[in-house]
């Protein structure tokens, strides 16, 4: 049996991830602040015959992140999948928002994603297998009025892009999940079906399917997928160009660390 660590598993999309991974036979480590919510998710997971640890931690704090990092880096209890799902959306108007709340959002949505991934990757790379799912948002593409939430999710998208480009050949996969509005209970969703409102279970299914296919970006729902597909077209060309440039650099030895003593190449006349 392999193990997945899911952040933000006390409710919402994280609980749906936990349920699906438990049904797939994965043991779980469940992280969030609300211990009672985590225990509910863990009890539901155990009904599928897997083990579920509860790790109550506030990922906006160094101590909370350290607890999750230690668990991820434990060589005796390897974690094969990290789901960076915990996220907060501070909807206050930027100039009126409490600076501490904005910083806490950055620490949860960005710092925790970075530090947990940093803790998980070395073991995954050493074992030659593993996967990381980073939950971003369609908001990361939207230049709509708002505060800092969208920019935290834009960071998650850019971070995953860079990491995914750095991991080929390691056996480790990374994907950014980029959903639009979901019926997780966080927002007042209309009762009527709408292509704008996604079913969290379908979002998780799509994400795991795309991860299995080696994709690095998952945008569930035809409406969001067509918009992101158009926005991503030029970036796909940039990624291909970056891959080619990277191969060229390696071929010409330019990946060697820069040396201050090495003389600059001198172009001589034929
Ligand atoms: N719902 C949407 O429409 C939507 C759309 C696009 C993207 N997303 C993203 O999807 C993810 C899940 O969203 P959701 O709708 O399921 O949200 P949710 O119902 O509000 O759940 C958020 C989860 O994150 C955890 N969390 C928040 N702050 C935390 C902290 N400081 N430390 C540890 N855990 C923390 C919460 O647990 P505790 O409160 O127990 O700590 C909870 O389990 C988020 O990253 C969100 O930005 C959501």
pLDDT band at 222 (very low <50, low <70, confident <90, very high): very high
The ligand 1 site (C-beta within 6 Å) comprises 7-8, 10-14, 32-34, 37, 58-60, 85-89, 108, 135, 137, 179, 181-182, 184-187
CA of 25 to the centre of ligand 1 (A): 24
Say yes or no to pLDDT of 138 above 60. yes
**Domain residue ranges in the chain:** 3-235
Q: pLDDT (tens digit, 9 = 90+) per residue, 169-196?
A: 999 999 999 999 999 988 989 988 899 9
The CATH class given to the 3-235 domain equals alpha beta
Q: Ligand 1, atom 21: nearest CA belongs to which residue?
A: 12
Known catalytic residues are: 149
Q: Share the mean pLDDT of the chain.
A: 91
Say yes or no to pLDDT of 36 above 80. yes
Residue 1, CA distances (Å) to 21, 24, 28, 113 in order: 11, 10, 10, 25
With b meaning 16 or more CB within 10 Å and e meaning fewer, what string describes 103-118?
ebbbbbbbbbbbbbbe
The reported pLDDT for the residue numbered 260 is 35
CA of 187 to the centre of ligand 1 (A): 12
CA of 107 to the centre of ligand 1 (A): 13
Instruction: Count the neighbouring beta carbons within 10 Å of the beta carbon of residue 27.
Output: 19
The reported pLDDT for the residue numbered 73 is 98
The reported pLDDT for the residue numbered 71 is 98
User: In the chain, what percentage of residues exceed pLDDT 70?
Assistant: 91
């Amino acid at each position: 049996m392999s193990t997945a660590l899911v952040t933000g598993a006390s409710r919402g999309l994280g609980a749906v991830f936990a349920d699906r991974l438990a049904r797939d036979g994965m043991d779980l480590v469940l992280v969030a602040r609300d211990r009672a919510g985590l225990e509910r998710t863990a009890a539901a997971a155990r009904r599928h015959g897997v083990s579920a640890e509860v790790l109550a931690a506030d990922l906006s704090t160094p101590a909370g992140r350290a607890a999750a990092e230690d668990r991820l880096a434990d060589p005796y209890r390897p974690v094969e999948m990290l789901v960076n799902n915990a996220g907060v959306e501070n909807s206050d108007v930027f100039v009126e928002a409490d600076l501490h709340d904005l910083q806490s959002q950055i620490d949860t949505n960005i710092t925790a994603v970075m530090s947990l991934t940093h803790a998980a990757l070395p073991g995954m790379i050493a074992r030659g297998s593993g996967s990381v799912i980073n939950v971003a948002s369609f908001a990361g593409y939207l230049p709509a009025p708002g505060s800092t939430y969208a920019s935290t999710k834009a960071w998650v998208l850019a971070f995953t892009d860079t990491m995914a480009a750095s991991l080929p050949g390691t056996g480790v996969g990374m994907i950014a999940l980029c959903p639009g509005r979901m019926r997780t209970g966080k927002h007042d969703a209309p009762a009527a079906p709408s292509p704008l409102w996604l079913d969290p279970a379908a979002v998780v299914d799509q994400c795991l399917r795309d991860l299995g296919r080696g994709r690095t970006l998952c945008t569930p729902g035809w409406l969001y997928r067509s918009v992101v597909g158009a926005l991503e077209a030029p970036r796909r060309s940039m990624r291909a160009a970056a891959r080619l440039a990277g191969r060229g650099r390696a071929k010409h030895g330019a990946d060697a660390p820069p040396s201050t003593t090495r003389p600059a190449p001198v172009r001589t006349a034929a």
